[in-house]
Structures are given as structure tokens and as C-alpha cells.
């Protein structure tokens, strides 16, 4: 029997076991081709079908139409931090950003380097423990950029800002396709795949045609979103193996009943952990404001760093891996992306509750 732990790593993260089994079964001989999909041409009919299906299923799961383009590119979400202003921030406009912690701060830095940046909201003064409600959009805003889930701080948007005619752009790296939301509110969504979608090395970009129409000429070819949109991400060699796994993950999501079913399970998972925290405020301190708590990354503190370390290492020895908070904030973090089964949340809650009884 292969040993599998409950993997709470924040990213790269656990993948659905059913998906990994398909990958294993198809690894040496993809659908009778006698070769791995890793060894296939990205111009082959087999890869073309994977690419098409991944695009179609993304649109189906998001409930969006053909006015959106689904791209699979390299460079991680971090490369998008620069590609967005390069493509979408003309000199006579200002890019608006909301700063909710590490990742949005990095996105802001790139925009500042490349053009006019306006801070439309920030929770920096309180250590990013909440989502700013009051936003201040400049009249010449090119777009508003937000980060839907703050992987490190454990906060998440549960209501998205109303931006009127200003395009809303969202880094959804750590909560994409985890719940039913109105995806058509966004002009652009992007996500590194390694948290909720698949393996590292591929970034999903979903972009509306109306944004593509505003891109100026003269951008280096590979940086221009239109290059990838017009060629269905086949301008050059795409991160093909990653897209193949994403396609399988999308089929897995659909097989469970789509985002409605996935959201239901994610709700139960986060309720399991948060109710444990809330039942014992003398011992557990949730670090995010209650109404802005993340469903994906539950961040908490124990009475001392010593106890935190002890919990993390005992958990690891018991088969619950990856509970250490991000190195920049410390504490304990329970990351529960789509692929973490409810059983994992229940078992780790039992373990934490038992740890509490012993301390
Ligand atoms: C992990 C993460 C990133 C960084 O993604 P890379 O693919 O490593 O560049 C960006 N934004 C958010 C919200 C993240 O959680």
C-alpha cells in the first residue's frame, strides 16, 4: 500500500487522489499512443483535445461565455503581477489596488514600477487581518486589482467590491473554483495552478475580450495576452503536463457536482476547524477578523510559540503534514483546498482537540 498523509501544505498542495491515479495509469501510455503525454507534441490531436477540454470545462465551471479567453501560461501568478500593468495600464490612466497582504503587496510593487498606481484600500495598519470595505477608486482607473484569498494572512473576500465600469482584476491563486461566485463580475482572473487547480508550472489566466481590445501594440510578443488568446495558448510550447492535470482536476470537480458541491464540502471543512478554535478562546486565537476568515487557509495562534512548534511536529509524526504558518507570520495554518477531503479536516480537528486536552 502506498503511504498517503493528510497534506495541509499551502502550495504546492494536495491533489485529488483519483486524479493522481489517472495520471499514474496513463503515465507510460497515454490513450494508446504508446507514449506519455509528457513526450507528446503539443501539436498532437491528443494534446489539442486536452487543451480544448480544459478551456471548455473552465468556462463551464465558471459559468462564463466565449467573450472570455482561458489561457495557460508559464511564469506563475507572480509574472502576472507585471504582465497586468504592461498590458492594461496606459500612461494616462491609474491602476487601483487593494493591499490585503504579501501577494497583493507584490502586485502593487510591479504596478508602481510600470506606471501610475493608486492604493484604493489597505488593511496594512492592522497587520492585514481584515478585508478593507471602503474603497477609493480614482476617476481615471484603468482597473481595480484585488487578491480574493490571502493565503498567508488567512483572510478572504466574501463580498466583492462594486466597481461600476472599472474592470475588476483578481488574483485567485488560492481559492479559484472553491465556491460558487459570479465570475462574470471579473474582467480578468488569474491563478497559479499549484494550490487549487493542479501542479506548479502553469498559470491560468481568464480574460475578457473587452480588456484584450485595449492592449496597445509594441509589447514583447510573449508578454502580450493577445498572443496567447489568439493561439489558444499554443503560440509556443505550453506547460502541457500541467494543463493535462488541470483538465483532470476540472473533470473531478464536475464529477462531484460542480462548484455547488465543492463549496458545500469546503464550508463543512472550514466550519469544522473554526468551531474548534472558537470553542476554546483561551487556547486558540484565530488571526483573521471573523467575517473575513478564509475558508482555504485557517490561520491561528496558540498561547506560545513552543506549543505551536510542538503541535506542528506532533501533527507531522501523526500524518498531518504542512501545518506550519508561513515563515513571515509564524503560527499554525490549516490549508484546505478543494482536494483536501472532509475526512482530513475532521481528523486534524480531532488531533488538535486531543493536543489541547494534553496541554
Ligand atoms: C501562492 C500565491 C501566489 C504566487 O504564485 P506563484 O505561482 O508562485 O507565482 C500569488 N498570489 C497568491 C494569492 C498566492 O497564494
Catalytic annotation present for 103: yes
Longest Cα–Cα distance in the chain: 64
State the chain's mean pLDDT as an integer: 97
* Best residue among 173, 205, 299 to mutate for probing ligand 1, ranked by most atoms within 8 Å of CB: 173
Pick the CATH number of 17-256 from 3.90.1720.10, 3.40.640.10, 1.10.3720.10, 3.90.1150.10: 3.40.640.10
Nearest residue by C-alpha to atom 12 in ligand 1: 173
Can you list the positions of beta strands (E) in 74-186? 94-99, 116-122, 141-147, 149-150, 155-156, 168-171
**Rounded distance from Cα 277 to ligand 1 centre (Å):** 27
332-335/297-301 β-pairing: antiparallel
Nearest residue by C-alpha to atom 5 in ligand 1: 77
Nearest residue by C-alpha to atom 3 in ligand 1: 77
Contact at 8 Å (CB) between 154 and 297? yes
pLDDT mean over 220-243: 98
Query: To the nearest whole percent, how much of the chain has pLDDT over 90?
Result: 99
pLDDT mean over 52-79: 98
* Best residue among 11, 75, 77 to mutate for probing ligand 1, ranked by most atoms within 8 Å of CB: 77
Does residue 239 register a pLDDT over 80?
Answer: yes
Catalytic annotation present for 295: no
Nearest-angstrom CA–CA distance, 259 and 115: 37
Nearest residue by C-alpha to atom 13 in ligand 1: 173
Could you say which of 195, 247, 269, 324 is catalytic?
Answer: 195
pLDDT mean over 68-88: 98
Does residue 2 register a pLDDT over 90?
Answer: no
Nearest-angstrom CA–CA distance, 259 and 179: 5
| Helix, strand, or coil (residue 101) | coil
Catalytic annotation present for 18: no
Residue 91 has a pLDDT of: 97
CB burial of 335-355 (b: ≥16 within 10 Å; e: otherwise) equals bbbbbbbeebbebbbebbeeb
| Helix, strand, or coil (residue 133) | coil
**Rounded distance from Cα 227 to ligand 1 centre (Å):** 23
Atom nearest to 148 CA in ligand 1: 13
pLDDT mean over 241-254: 98
Nearest-angstrom CA–CA distance, 278 and 291: 13
- Sequence ranges of the domains in the chain: 17-256, 258-358
Nearest-angstrom CA–CA distance, 143 and 108: 13
**Rounded distance from Cα 28 to ligand 1 centre (Å):** 31
Atom nearest to 151 CA in ligand 1: 15
Residue 243 has a pLDDT of: 98
| Calculated CA dihedral for residues 209, 215, 220, 226, nearest 10 degrees | 10
Model-level pTM? 0.98
Q: Over the stretch 147-205, which tens digit does the pLDDT of each residue have?
A: 999 999 999 999 999 999 999 999 999 999 999 999 999 999 999 999 999 999 999 99
Residue 14 has a pLDDT of: 97
Could you say which of 103, 247, 269, 292 is catalytic?
Answer: 103
Half-sphere exposure of 164 (CA within 13 A, CB side): 9
Q: CA 270 → CA 65, 94, 156, 265, 273, distances in Å?
A: 31, 37, 12, 9, 5
| Helix, strand, or coil (residue 331) | coil
Does residue 1 register a pLDDT over 80?
Answer: no
Residue 276 has a pLDDT of: 97
**Rounded distance from Cα 279 to ligand 1 centre (Å):** 32
Atom nearest to 172 CA in ligand 1: 13
**Rounded distance from Cα 283 to ligand 1 centre (Å):** 31
Any residues with Cβ below 6 Å from ligand 1, and which?
Answer: 11, 76-78, 103, 147, 151, 171, 173-174, 192
pLDDT mean over 237-246: 98
Residue 89 has a pLDDT of: 98
* Best residue among 9, 13, 76 to mutate for probing ligand 1, ranked by most atoms within 8 Å of CB: 76
| Helix, strand, or coil (residue 294) | coil
pLDDT mean over 57-66: 98
DSSP, res 163: -
| DSSP line for 249-292 | HHHHHHHHTHHHHHHHHHHHHHHHHHHHHHT-TTT-EE-S-GGG
| Helix, strand, or coil (residue 146) | strand
CB atoms within 10 A of CB 18: 15
| Calculated CA dihedral for residues 23, 8, 206, 184, nearest 10 degrees | 120
CATH topology of domain 258-358: 3.90.1150
Could you say which of 99, 171, 224, 292 is catalytic?
Answer: 171
pLDDT mean over 2-17: 96
Q: Over the stretch 249-295, which tens digit does the pLDDT of each residue have?
A: 999 999 999 999 999 999 999 999 999 999 999 999 999 999 999 99
**Rounded distance from Cα 192 to ligand 1 centre (Å):** 6
**Rounded distance from Cα 355 to ligand 1 centre (Å):** 32
Amino acid at each position: 500500500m502506498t503511504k498517503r498523509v493528510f497534506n495541509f501544505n499551502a502550495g504546492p498542495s494536495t491533489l485529488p487522489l483519483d486524479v493522481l491515479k489517472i495520471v499514474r495509469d496513463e503515465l507510460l501510455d497515454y490513450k494508446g499512443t504508446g507514449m506519455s503525454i509528457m513526450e507528446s507534441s503539443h501539436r498532437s490531436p491528443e494534446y489539442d483535445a486536452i487543451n480544448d477540454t480544459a478551456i471548455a470545462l473552465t468556462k463551464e465551471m465558471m459559468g462564463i461565455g466565449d467573450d472570455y479567453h482561458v489561457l495557460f501560461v508559464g511564469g506563475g501568478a507572480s509574472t502576472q503581477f507585471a504582465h497586468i500593468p504592461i498590458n492594461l495600464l496606459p500612461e494616462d490612466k491609474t491602476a487601483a489596488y487593494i493591499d490585503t497582504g504579501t501577494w497583493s503587496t507584490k502586485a502593487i510593487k510591479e504596478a508602481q514600477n510600470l506606471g501610475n498606481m493608486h492604493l484604493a484600500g489597505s488593511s496594512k495598519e492592522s497587520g492585514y487581518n481584515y478585508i478593507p470595505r471602503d474603497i477609493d477608486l480614482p476617476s481615471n482607473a484603468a482597473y481595480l486589482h484585488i487578491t480574493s484569498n490571502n493565503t498567508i494572512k488567512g483572510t478572504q473576500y466574501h463580498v466583492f467590491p462594486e466597481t461600476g465600469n472599472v474592470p475588476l482584476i483578481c488574483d485567485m491563486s488560492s481559492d479559484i473554483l472553491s465556491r460558487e461566485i459570479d465570475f462574470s463580475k471579473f474582467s480578468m482572473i488569474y491563478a497559479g495552478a499549484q494550490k487549487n487547480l493542479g501542479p506548479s508550472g502553469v498559470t491560468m489566466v481568464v480574460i475578457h475580450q473587452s480588456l484584450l481590445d485595449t492592449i496597445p501594440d509594441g509589447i514583447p510578443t510573449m508578454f502580450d495576452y493577445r498572443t496567447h488568446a489568439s493561439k489558444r495558448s499554443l503560440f509556443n510550447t505550453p506547460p502541457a503536463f500541467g494543463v493535462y492535470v488541470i483538465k483532470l482536476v476540472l473533470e473531478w470537480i464536475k464529477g462531484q457536482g460542480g462548484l455547488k458541491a465543492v463549496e458545500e464540502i469546503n464550508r463543512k471543512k472550514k466550519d469544522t476547524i473554526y468551531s474548534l478554535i472558537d470553542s476554546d478562546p483561551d487556547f486558540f486565537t484565530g488571526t483573521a477578523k471573523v467575517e473575513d476568515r478564509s475558508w482555504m487557509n485557517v490561520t491561528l495562534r496558540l498561547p506560545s510559540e513552543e506549543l505551536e512548534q510542538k503541535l506542528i511536529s506532533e501533527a507531522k509524526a501523526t500524518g498531518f503534514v504542512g501545518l506550519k504558518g508561513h515563515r513571515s507570520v509564524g503560527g499554525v495554518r490549516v490549508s484546505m483546498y478543494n482536494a483536501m477531503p472532509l475526512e482530513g479536516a475532521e481528523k486534524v480537528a480531532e488531533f488538535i482537540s486531543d493536543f489541547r486536552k494534553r496541554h
